[in-house]
Every structure is written in structure tokens, then in C-alpha cells.
Amino acid sequence: MATPTTSIDSSTVGRLARFVTVGASAAAIQTALLWAFVEFGGLNYLVGAAIAIEITIVLQYVANNAWTFSASQHTGRGEYLRGLFRTNVVRGSAIPIQLGLLAGFVQWVGLAYVVANLCAILVSGVYRYLLDARWTWQ
């Protein structure tokens, strides 16, 4: 008897790998910015995280548009700005999720804010990928 198999399109796997690569780079940048805002800027870790998140939202859009979603790349000025707006809506909607997880990991689990931030990025990353793939670069 034949067993059913699931087939995942190779372009989807490649796109997901590129998304993860961009996301990992952005996570490193975001965490470095968070650390700098807290340690040198004297900001509360949640305020520093919110600022770092917004900076990396823009950086990720540029990288994802050029590389991850190059097949549906936004090239015209209006299309590019519309895509930037959409990714800000998607990723902006994930900010409360990420900040809530960050606060929970710090306050309830006792993780250092830098480690907690990386954990929060991982958990909220699935949400961001699904919305970006289905709406920002439809």
C-alpha cells in the first residue's frame, strides 16, 4: 500500500531558508542595538527593544525584498513604499508579541534580557514569516 507523501515546493524551502538567514542577521543586529541602547543609552530594556525592532524592520524589508522574495520583488517607488508599509503592519503587529515574550522571559523565567530577546525573536518569527509571505509579498 502506498503511503501518502507531502511535497514541499523547492522554491518555498529556498525562500524560507533565505528568510531565516535574513532574520538571523537581523536578530543579531537587533540584539546588539538593544544591548547598546540599554548599556550605553540607559534605556529600559523594553523601550530599547521597541526601538531596535523598528530599525531592523526596515533593514529586513530591504534584504527580504531584494533576496528572499526576489521573484515578487517590489521595484517601483509606489510598490516599494506600499510593501514597506505592509511589512511594518505585519511586523508592527508582532511587536507586542515579542515585547510580551521578552518581558515574560526576563521577569518570570529569569533570563538575561539579551538571551530573552533572542528567544522572543525565535518564537515570534513564525508569525512574521507567515504574514509576510502571504500578505507583504503576495
The tens digit of pLDDT for each residue in 120-132 reads 999 888 887 787 7
Residue 80 lies in a domain: yes
What is the reported pLDDT for 15? 82
Select from 107, 99, 106 the least CA-distant residue to 123.
99
What are the two backbone dihedrals, phi and then psi, of residue 90, each rounded to the nearest 5 degrees? -60, -55
In the chain, how many domains are there?
1
Grid cell 510593501 is found at 83
Residue 6 lies in a domain: no
Query: E strands within the chain?
Result: none
Residue 1 lies in a domain: no
CA distances 19 to 45, 107, 129, Å, are 26, 30, 8
Residue 37 lies in a domain: yes
Q: Which domain holds residue 76?
A: 15-136
What is the reported pLDDT for 43? 98
- The low-confidence residues of the chain, meaning pLDDT below 50, are none
What is the reported pLDDT for 80? 84
Measured distance CA(39)–CA(41) in Å, rounded:
6
Residue 8 lies in a domain: no
What is the reported pLDDT for 4? 53
Residue 55 lies in a domain: yes
What is the reported pLDDT for 133? 74
Residue 31 lies in a domain: yes
The 10 Å CB-count burial string (b at 16+, else e) for 54-65 is eebbeebbebbb
Residue 7 lies in a domain: no
What is the reported pLDDT for 3? 52
Select from 36, 33, 40 the least CA-distant residue to 58.
33
Measured distance CA(30)–CA(53) in Å, rounded:
6
What is the reported pLDDT for 19? 82
